[in-house]
Each structure stands twice: as C-alpha cells, then as structure tokens.
C-alpha cells in the first residue's frame, strides 16, 4: 500500500533501489469454464470505460501474453500484414520470454490504434489526455469492476495467460509448440496446467461408462452365465 501511495505521487523511484520487497504469496491460477469466459467477454462490451481492459483481455486470451508484455507492446512490434507480434527481451521477465506470436483474428480486432512505430499500443492516459509515447501503467480499476460485473470477483488478469495455455494443452498442442508461443514455461508448469481441468476430463470420460442397471434388475455373475 505504501508503495502504491509513493508511486501515485511519483516518489517511489527515489527509494526503490534501497527497498527489499517482501516475497509475494503465490496464488493458484484460476481457469474459467466456457460459460464464465463467454460471460466475461460479453459483459466487457457494456461500458466504454472497460474497452482497454477488454482489448487487453482478448490479447492475453489469444496470445498467452503477460500484463507486463502487453503494457510494453509498441506499434513497431506488431506486424498486421504477417499477423504476428514480436516480444522483445526488455519487455518480458526473462530472455526465454522473447518470442514471436502469431495473431488470431480476435487478437487483430483487439489491437488498439497507434499512429507511429514508437507509439504504445496501450498508451498512457491521464485526465483524459492520451500520451502515445508513454505506456499505460495498468487497467486495474476497469478490470476489477468488469470482473465483478461478470460475477468473477477475484479473477486476476494474469489468470488469462493460464487460461490460454490450458486451452492450448486441451487442444493437443505439444509442449514444445506451447513454449514457442508462451515463452518461459517450465516442464513442471506444463504438468501443473495439464492437471488443472482433471475434473472436467473426468466428467467427459463418464460419457463412456455403460448405463447403470435399474434397481429391479439382477446382476448375473459371469460364472453363472457360463453355467447357464
């Protein structure tokens, strides 16, 4: 909270190098079911104030990009002719995060307009004034109100990256192909993702079960069947 206050008044940079942050408690990723995902995207159309959060969410869901990668995305990194985004090393967490991601139709439609290569796709906006040469700090308020309206309180924006990776796994994409798209994803993380929807898989496999017998019917043991 103190850091947010200092950032708000542009004083944090004076202290940042001397402050050791407490470790963040890890929170398990949340994956939406089909109905929840559809409701989130449908609700996001309701208010103009949610436009940026909606576009960012669509890009995250269709590219596996992190929030920090979206904020650092410039127009020059987007090739609409080749339909691809280039993630540079300086805009991601590790060198392994640098990659090129193909753009789906939904991702192309979600791209905000930028007039010059050095302009940010999600530019800063303060007091209604847009500054295209500075990146947007965050869309936290819009995201919070959007998820609450969609009945998904507590859904983190980063969960959308997990959502995209999980769906790629469910489509049968190889681990290597996923790492090419999502960047720095360890084998342990892929194993974690693949188990996140175990219950959904279990329900699907129940369709293969033979129908239960009526209570009035008697099960004849196999041995008795042979004797008869």
How does pLDDT run across 216-225, given as a tens digit for each residue? 555 455 555 5
The C-alpha atoms of residue 56 and residue 160 are separated, in whole angstroms, by 10
Q: By percentage, how much of the chain surpasses pLDDT 70?
A: 78
Superfamily of domain 33-197: Intergrase catalytic core (1.10.443.10)
Can you give the pLDDT at residue 206? 79
The C-alpha atoms of residue 79 and residue 127 are separated, in whole angstroms, by 31
Every domain of the chain and the residues it spans: 33-197
**Bigger pLDDT: 135 vs 116:** 135
Q: What angle do CA 65, 120, 107 make, to 5 degrees?
A: 40
> How many other C-beta atoms lie within 10 A of the C-beta of residue 35?
8
pTM for the structure as a whole: 0.65
pLDDT tens for each residue of 138-178: 898 999 999 999 999 999 999 999 899 888 888 878 878 88
Residue with tokens 């959502």: 163
Can you give the pLDDT at residue 144? 94
What stretches of the chain adopt beta strand conformation (E)? 78-79, 84-87, 99-102, 123-126, 129-135
Can you give the pLDDT at residue 221? 54
Q: What angle do CA 7, 12, 14 make, to 5 degrees?
A: 155
């Amino acid at each position: 909270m103190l850091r947010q206050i200092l950032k708000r008044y542009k004083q944090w940079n004076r202290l940042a190098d001397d402050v050791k942050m407490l470790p963040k408690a890890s929170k398990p990723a949340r994956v939406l079911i089909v109905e929840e995902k559809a409701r989130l995207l449908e609700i996001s159309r309701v208010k103009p104030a949610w436009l940026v959060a909606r576009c960012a969410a669509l890009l995250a869901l269709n590219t596996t990009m992190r929030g920090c990668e979206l904020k650092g995305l410039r127009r020059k990194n987007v090739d609409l002719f080749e339909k691809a985004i280039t993630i540079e090393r300086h805009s991601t967490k590790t060198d392994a995060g640098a990659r090129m991601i193909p753009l789906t139709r939904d991702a192309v439609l979600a791209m905000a307009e930028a007039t010059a290569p050095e302009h940010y796709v999600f530019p800063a906006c303060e007091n209604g004034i847009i500054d295209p040469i500075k990146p947007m700090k965050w869309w936290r308020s819009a995201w919070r109100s959007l998820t609450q309206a969609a009945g998904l309180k507590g859904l983190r924006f980063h969960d959308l990256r997990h959502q995209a990776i999980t769906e790629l796994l469910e489509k049968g994409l190889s681990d290597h192909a996923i790492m090419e798209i999502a960047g720095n994803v360890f084998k342990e993380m892929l194993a974690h993702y693949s188990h996140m929807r175990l219950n959904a898989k279990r329900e699907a496999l129940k369709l293969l079960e033979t129908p239960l017998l009526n209570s009035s019917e008697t099960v004849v043991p196999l041995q008795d069947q042979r004797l008869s």
